[in-house]
Structure 1
Amino acid sequence: MDADQPTLQLDQLSERELYVQCITKQLEEVDLLSSIYCTPGEMHILDASVISDFNDFLKTPTAVPTNVLKAHLDYIITVSVLHGKSKEKVDIRIELPNLYPLLENAIVTIFSTLLGKAKEQHLKREIEKYINTMDKSECYVFQVVSWLQDELNDLITRDASEFELKKQVTADENESALECERLWIYSHHIKSKKKRQEIQRVARNMDLSGFSRPGKPGIICVEGLRAHTQEFWRVIKAMHWQHITICKSELWQGKLEQRRRFDGFKEQLFCDDLDNEEGVMNMALFIKYLETHKSGYMKKELFGLE
């Protein structure tokens, strides 16, 4: 078959036909995986109602995908890996965008205390590389999970120092070559505890400073090496959002530490009642925080306030 043919066929599909193909493939795959990982505790679908929603969508010819499909398949497969003379459980989280596998990639994350930060980041990069080699005309979660089991068995036995990233520059050499960025991200809301935890985990793992404001609206600011801020954005935007966008990007060369405005990465509520995470944002507190961190101009960028 000509290499351009699959793309040509996708271009000829209507939006609904494209979603139907992807959702059908996902349902077939989850049935297959359920039969393979059938021992209690091996596979857990985080929101089983998504399966019903998918089936309802397929049975309703007039249903508009973007109106009906409000969630995506999200499940955990637990595998055993060797650790010394014993076997340990490792959770592999699979998040499938609605247009997986034809147009969007699966998001695969490992949760294990056996890895550590350096190995976790290395494995994340390797997962992405492996997924990019997959044939996207068919589902491939089982292939990824099987490959991961082999990778994990090898990775756990190796020294963490093998995977620590080399510093891009020394303290007094080529500092001006550093590309840095401060990203301001605006979301309709940030309420999910899972998202809030992931935002903090990813920011800290990538040595980003800044803050996130949960609630409605949701606001995130991260600053650090541009390669890291862009990776943060790639990871975060892949989550399921009602609306999320980059409000402003500030770029500069060199002198990262001297130009950081925030000390580490923290979650900030900006509420009068700090015990109420659903509380309304106190705009005065937020603006004061911005001004304290030399960012008062962002009140106009974010809210149109002079």
Structure 2
Amino acid sequence: MSDSCFSLQLEEAEALKSAYEPDDGFMWLHEPDPDDDGAELAYAVTVRSNGPVESTVTLMFTLPCGYPLKEGAVPEVVAVEGSEAVQRKLRKIEDTVATNVRQQLKSGYDFPILASLAPVTDLLTQCEEEWVAMETERKKEEAEEDYTWAAHLAVAAQKYEQRHSPPVLGRRMIYSHHIWSPVKRKYILEWARALRLGGMSKLGYPGCILVEGDERDCAEFVNLVTRLRWKYIAVRGEEQIPVPPGKSLEDMRALPLSFTEYGWDDMDKVAARCREAGLEELFLTCMKIYGGKKSKEKKARTKSTDEKKEKKKR
């Protein structure tokens, strides 16, 4: 490493320490000896916002030999951690700082990293504002959904007392534009368990929910879920199977009495699970594929909500 490059690196590090160390914002990760040819400086800088949330982000910089004078010697920038308000924006902050460093290098500025960190405070404030808005919306949504759940509990006991008709096994395949809200995920799981419904949900874009259990409980689940605020949600497919004499509803279940949540990229796992349980045709209704190949042993008739609406019009 040339003496001039090493000197500039140390000078910039000292400038960063002066700017950020009073708030414990600078930490050496690797401070090499000038005689250690080929070694790389590395340090972490923590930037704090001026907003009421006091969010922070810590960035790690690794300086290659030749920085900042040699062309192509660009520091590695990694946003290693951040406070709650900026966790979801770490990649954006990292990309912004890395872009700023490259621009400062092109302009020939002696301390590119120091200059690149200047806009981060404003970026943190922007992240805080977005996070506060999201938290406010989340709490409002949670309060509304708490009311919905309380209303369900108030009538649930009465509904169970009124059950005298023969049991019917029900299934619902529900399609949603997306599922990612932690509050919605919480209630989907809680309602399924409370109503003794087996099934699964798939997060992300698109989202889907499959439930199986007593037909009346399936209907109640749909009633609860569709009351929540969604960009788009619809029952794409459903099945009703009368429980024959001598059998119980539990004997008729194709899925275990548990509820599984699958990730954003797990639609193939949902499809495989449905296929293994003999519910492939019901799964396909989620994709608006109706009337697929039916098993000879399958007596239940799968209907789409769209088909039912068409029949009502005729």
Alignment TM-score, normalising by the size of structure 2: 0.42
Larger Rg: 2
Alignment TM-score, normalising by the size of structure 1: 0.43
* Structure with higher helix content: 2
